[in-house]
Each structure stands twice: as structure tokens, then as C-alpha cells.
Amino acid sequence: MSFMKCPTCKKTRNKFETHDFLPFCSERCKQADLGKWMVGEYKVSRPLRMDDEVSMEDMMREGSAPDRGYDYE
């Protein structure tokens, strides 16, 4: 079975579990993450450039899809 960790609290859960607050384990963790964005704790490091825009299909074809920072086990 595959597992992933909640990006906020690091609680381990089934990677294939589905609910409204993915990739978080709960509504609380989802809201905590949103709060960090709202107060500026998270930010985009620089403005996007045209060469940054690569389609997900291209990344999948090349085998270089981003892992989005999720911690898979």
C-alpha cells in the first residue's frame, strides 16, 4: 500500500484515500496552510516567465512531473 504525509502536520495516510481536503489530512490542516499563504509565510520565489510554463502532459511524457513537496512513503 502507498502512503503520503500531510504537508501540514506530517500525519501518514493512504495515498489513494479521497476526500475534499486533499492533499491535507483534514479541514484543519487545509485551513492552517491557507493561513500561512494569507500572512505571507509562503510565497512564490520569483515571477513566472514564459519558459517556466511547461504543460503537465509534457512533464509526464518526460518523466519529470513535479512531486509538489508531498512526502510519499
How far is C-alpha 61 from the chain's CA centre? Answer: 20
Q: How confident is the model at residue 33 (pLDDT cuts 50, 70, 90)?
A: very high
Average pLDDT over residues 20-41: 93
Q: Has this prediction a pTM greater than 0.75?
A: no
**Is residue 73 over pLDDT 70?**
no
**Is residue 58 over pLDDT 90?**
no
How would you write 5-73 as a 3-class SS string?
ECCCCCCEEECCCCCCCCCCCCHHHHHHHHHHHHCCCCCCCCCCCHHHCCCHHHHHHHCCCCCCCCEEC
- Give 66 or 60, the one with higher predicted confidence: 60
Report the mean per-residue pLDDT for the chain.
Answer: 80
